[in-house]
């Protein structure tokens, strides 16, 4: 999974952080490409963030009645997927997720995760706090994943991987059986693992900076560096 | 033998003082009344000697094997330890030997530093320069000439003719435990350095320690 | 195939185990004495700065704690990813078994529940903040030495949409038999609950 950009939106819909990690050449276009790819400026991103915030809320109201009624059966557990966003040595791969090769950091002992000890931020499965809001937006150009925390903070990751087209479910099969097996679900789980790690970085490098004012845009260099390193590991 | 104990701060200001009377039979015998007033003077007079020892450039003994020493020039204890001390070329005074010891509090005890007409004065220096000083009195009359030897005591406290016998080991333990009590007082954020210590808890504990370690006989 | 929500998640493991495991293996630690001395220096300096105005000092400690709490809750949630608590009973367990354990390595007791289960007391034994402290005589009656803890709890709970009042009831430093602080839920801030979190 290659992460193209990351946004952090606060609980009132304001944009706190936005970075693009894959450079798109600004105006180069194939002759028959329909539209030029233009970079969004910072104002556009602000509007994008607040739009997303609104869409997120609306989406929670859009769940079909039938699904709403059966909601008690849904398991919101996200399993722990190892090596998401973590540097690895050599060519080990995790559960089929993409894994960063040795990112140039030295041997196993020096993995510094801020105030987290050990080789990864967390190692257990966890329950998603985002039960009826928007979690994944699939288009033919990108996929967007949203992770919301209990305090209302939203982490949005835009990935260049495109989800394969969903086959139409046969009327006889129950949806729930397919739910756990298909690749879209796995993608959401990987994204949730990744975004929870970004949340851990946020709680360390942004929250513990005494000069950071709450709900304001994040200007922390350390946070930026750590996020870039993690994205680099994700993108290989 | 009654004792008079005081803690003197870095500015020569008194921090704490207490008199430990000796218990003989049913009576607790303190210092004779006329002598009592002299105690602070005697103690403060010893401070000069203690400071001298504190800032000496060539300490003449390691303070571990011998109970105490004093002397500003060369003296009787110098020969065996001189070579050891010459190898440590940095540091000042008694602090120089500190790092070599397992029990770091060993060098703080200075032993008998002075005497006054038969009273012995022992001292202990903390790392922050606080001086714990104690006057050891006799119950009998003071007799004996003051012209006794100005020499250090050996282990076991063989006193010179006119001075009081001092049990170094017990005293060392006493001083070390008072030192620990003092450190705990320092850890209190509301206690400022060189403030007098007035809490009754500290007083109680010091007296208990005195009863425990300073076995007053006769 | 339906699975019950709690079967494989951390919710099913006891909170105590979670708290202990995170404390032992997952957090960087700091020397207790250094921590106690730093906090003591802070309070002693406040005494000097505010010229022994004890109610103002209490207030300042509380607001410092509040600022810590609104940030600390994110660290706690990132570390534990515990789901939302259904009621104050569960909240009290999470606070005493997980939160205090992870950050201070103590486990206060939860007692003195009110009738409608919206307020409780935390009894703290061995408060690490006040390890060597003796309050000066004139301050003894009025200062709550560890008032920063009240602020932390209030700030943290407010960020998860629980409006609570937190205050000290007794303190060993004042001569009381135990250190006790009370938490009372005023209301759940329903309109601030993030959308999608049912």
pLDDT in the model for residue B70: 43
Judged against a pLDDT cut of 60, whether residue A41 lies above it is answered with yes
What mean pLDDT comes out for the span C136-155?
91
Structural domain including B14 reads 1-56+106-141+164-217
Q: Give per-residue burial for A76-109: e unless 16+ CB within 10 Å, then b.
A: ebbebbbbbbbbbeeeeeeeebbbbeeeeeeeee
What mean pLDDT comes out for the span C2-30?
70
pLDDT in the model for residue C60: 95
Judged against a pLDDT cut of 90, whether residue A197 lies above it is answered with yes
Residue of B nearest to C139 (CA): B190
Q: What is the pLDDT of residues A136-165, one digit of tens each?
A: 999 999 999 999 999 999 999 999 988 877
Instruction: Tell me, yes or no, whether B38 lies in a domain.
Output: yes
Inform me whether the C-beta atom of residue C40 falls under 8 Å from chain B C-beta atoms: yes
Tokens standing for residue B185: 């007082």
Tokens standing for residue B61: 């003994």
Instruction: Tell me, yes or no, whether B188 lies in a domain.
Output: yes
Question: Which subunits count as partners of chain C given 3+ CB pairs below 8 Å?
Answer: A, B
Pair B170, B215: CB distance under 8 Å: yes
To the nearest whole angstrom, how far is the Cα of C44 from the nearest Cα of chain B?
Answer: 6
| Interchain contact A/B (3 or more Cβ pairs less than 8 Å) | no
Mean pLDDT of chain B: 72
Judged against a pLDDT cut of 70, whether residue B100 lies above it is answered with no
Inform me whether the C-beta atom of residue C73 falls under 8 Å from chain B C-beta atoms: no
Q: How many CB pairs under 8 A join A and C?
A: 117
pLDDT in the model for residue A206: 95
Inform me whether the C-beta atom of residue C81 falls under 8 Å from chain B C-beta atoms: no
Q: How many CB pairs under 8 A join B and C?
A: 30
- Give me the domains of chain A, ranges plus CATH numbers: 3-22+40-85+117-166+183-235 (3.30.450.70)
Give residues with Cβ within 8 angstroms of B80, minimum separation 6.
Answer: none
Inform me whether the C-beta atom of residue C37 falls under 8 Å from chain B C-beta atoms: yes
Out of C36, C37, C135, whose CB is closest to B190?
C135
Inform me whether the C-beta atom of residue C148 falls under 8 Å from chain B C-beta atoms: no
pLDDT in the model for residue A130: 87
pLDDT in the model for residue B63: 41
Better-predicted residue by pLDDT, B66 or A11: A11
d(CA B193, CA B186): 7
Question: What is the value of ipTM here, to two decimals?
Answer: 0.89
Judged against a pLDDT cut of 50, whether residue A195 lies above it is answered with yes
Inform me whether the C-beta atom of residue C132 falls under 8 Å from chain B C-beta atoms: yes
- Give me the domains of chain C, ranges plus CATH numbers: 2-188 (3.30.1380.20)
DSSP conformation letters of B157-188: ----TTSPP--HHHHHHHHHHHHHHHHHHHHS
Q: What is the pLDDT of residues A24-40, one digit of tens each?
A: 665 555 555 555 567 78
pLDDT in the model for residue A14: 94
d(CA C193, CA C198): 9
Judged against a pLDDT cut of 90, whether residue C70 lies above it is answered with yes
Residue of A nearest to C103 (CA): A115
Q: How many CB atoms lie within 10 A of CB C117?
A: 12
- Per CB-CB distance under 8 Å, the chain B contacts of C36 are 187
Judged against a pLDDT cut of 80, whether residue B99 lies above it is answered with no
To the nearest whole angstrom, how far is the Cα of C101 from the nearest Cα of chain B?
Answer: 25
Better-predicted residue by pLDDT, B23 or C38: C38
The answer to which of B51-60, B73-82, C8-17 has the lowest mean pLDDT is: B73-82
Interface of C with A (CB under 8 A): 1-5, 8-11, 25-28, 70-75, 77-79, 81, 83-84, 159-160, 192, 194-198
Better-predicted residue by pLDDT, A119 or B25: A119
Number of domains in chain B: 1
Judged against a pLDDT cut of 60, whether residue B88 lies above it is answered with no
Better-predicted residue by pLDDT, B54 or C63: C63
- Per CB-CB distance under 8 Å, the chain B contacts of C136 are 190
pTM: 0.79
Tokens standing for residue A40: 């969004």
Pair C118, C157: CB distance under 8 Å: no
- Name which of C57, C61, C134, C138 to mutate to probe chain B: the one with the most chain B Cβ atoms within 10 A of its Cβ: C134
Judged against a pLDDT cut of 50, whether residue B150 lies above it is answered with no
To the nearest whole angstrom, how far is the Cα of C62 from the nearest Cα of chain A?
Answer: 17
Confidence class for position B146, pLDDT limits 50, 70, 90: very low
Instruction: Tell me, yes or no, whether B77 lies in a domain.
Output: no
Among the listed residues A110, A136, A119, A121, the one whose alpha carbon sits nearest the alpha carbon of residue A189: A136
pLDDT in the model for residue B72: 37
What mean pLDDT comes out for the span A174-197?
74
Out of C8, C72, C77, whose CB is closest to A149?
C77
Helix (H) or strand (E) holding B85: helix B78-86
d(CA C67, CA C77): 17
CATH number at residue B198: 3.30.450.70
Inform me whether the C-beta atom of residue B198 falls under 8 Å from chain C C-beta atoms: no
Instruction: Tell me, yes or no, whether B129 lies in a domain.
Output: yes
Confidence class for position B38, pLDDT limits 50, 70, 90: confident
Answer whether B188 sits within 8 Å of C37, measured CB to CB.
no
pLDDT in the model for residue B44: 87
| Interchain contact B/C (3 or more Cβ pairs less than 8 Å) | yes
pLDDT in the model for residue A236: 74
Judged against a pLDDT cut of 60, whether residue A181 lies above it is answered with no
Instruction: Tell me, yes or no, whether B74 lies in a domain.
Output: no
Percent of chain A past pLDDT 90, that is, above it, reads 42
């Amino acid at each position: 999974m290659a992460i193209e950009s990351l946004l952090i939106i606060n609980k009132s819909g304001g944009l706190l952080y936005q970075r693009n990690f894959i450079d798109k050449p600004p105006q180069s276009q194939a002759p028959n490409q329909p539209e030029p790819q233009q970079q969004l400026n910072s104002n556009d991103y602000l509007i994008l963030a607040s739009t997303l915030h609104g869409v997120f809320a609306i989406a929670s109201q859009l769940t079909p009645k039938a699904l709403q009624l059966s909601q008690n059966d849904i398991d919101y557990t996200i399993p722990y997927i190892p090596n998401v966003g973590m540097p690895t040595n050599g060519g080990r791969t995790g559960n089929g997720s993409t894994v960063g090769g040795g990112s140039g950091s030295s041997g196993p002992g020096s993995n510094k995760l801020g105030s987290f000890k050990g080789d990864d931020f967390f190692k257990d499965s966890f329950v998603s706090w985002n039960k009826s809001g928007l979690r994944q937006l699939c288009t033919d150009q990108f996929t967007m994943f949203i992770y919301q925390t209990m305090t209302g903070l939203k982490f949005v990751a835009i990935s260049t991987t495109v989800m394969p087209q969903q086959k139409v479910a046969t009327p006889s099969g129950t949806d729930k059986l397919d739910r756990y097996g298909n690749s879209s679900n796995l993608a959401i789980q990987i994204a949730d693992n990744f975004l929870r790690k970004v949340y851990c970085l946020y709680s360390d490098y942004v929250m513990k900076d005494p000069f950071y004012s709450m709900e304001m845009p994040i200007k922390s260099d350390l946070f930026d560096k750590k996020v870039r390193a993690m994205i680099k590991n994700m993108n290989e | 033998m009654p004792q008079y104990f005081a803690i003197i701060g870095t500015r020569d200001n008194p921090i704490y003082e207490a008199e430990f009377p000796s218990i003989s039979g049913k009576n607790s015998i303190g210092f004779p009344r006329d002598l009592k007033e002299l105690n602070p003077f005697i103690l403060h007079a010893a401070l000069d000697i203690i400071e001298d020892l504190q800032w000496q450039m060539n300490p003449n003994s390691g303070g571990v094997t011998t109970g105490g020493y004093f002397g500003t020039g060369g003296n009787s204890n110098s020969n065996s330890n001189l070579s050891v001390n010459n190898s440590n070329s940095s540091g000042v005074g008694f602090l120089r030997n500190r790092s070599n010891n397992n029990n770091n509090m060993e060098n703080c005890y200075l032993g008998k530093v002075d005497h006054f007409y038969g009273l012995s004065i022992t001292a202990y220096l903390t790392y922050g320069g606080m001086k714990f000083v104690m006057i050891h009195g006799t119950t009998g009359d003071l007799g004996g000439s003051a012209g006794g030897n100005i020499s250090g005591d050996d282990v076991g406290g063989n006193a010179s003719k006119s001075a009081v016998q001092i049990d170094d080991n017990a005293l060392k333990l006493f001083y070390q435990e008072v030192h620990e009590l003092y450190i705990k007082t320092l850890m209190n954020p509301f206690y400022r350095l060189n403030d007098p210590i007035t809490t009754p808890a500290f007083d109680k504990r010091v007296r208990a320690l005195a009863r425990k370690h300073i076995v007053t006989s006769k | 195939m339906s699975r019950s929500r709690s079967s494989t998640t951390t919710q099913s493991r006891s909170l105590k185990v979670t708290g202990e495991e995170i404390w032992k293996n997952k957090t960087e630690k700091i020397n207790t004495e250094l921590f106690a001395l730093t906090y003591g220096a802070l309070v002693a300096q406040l005494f000097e700065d505010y010229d022994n105005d004890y109610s103002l000092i209490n207030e300042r400690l509380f607001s410092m704690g509040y600022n810590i709490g609104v940030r600390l809750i994110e660290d706690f949630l990132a570390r534990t990813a515990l789901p939302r608590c259904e009621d104050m009973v569960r909240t009290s367990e999470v606070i005493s078994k997980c939160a205090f354990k992870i950050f201070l390595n103590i486990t206060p007791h939860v007692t003195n529940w009110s009738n409608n289960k919206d307020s409780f007391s935390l009894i703290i034994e061995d408060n690490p903040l006040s390890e060597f402290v003796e309050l000066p005589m004139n301050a003894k009656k009025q200062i709550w030495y560890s008032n920063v803890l009240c602020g932390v709890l209030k700030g943290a709970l407010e960020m998860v949409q629980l409006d609570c009042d937190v205050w000290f009831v007794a303190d060993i430093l004042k001569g009381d038999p135990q250190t006790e602080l009370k938490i009372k839920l005023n209301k759940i801030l329903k309109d601030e609950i993030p959308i999608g979190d049912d």
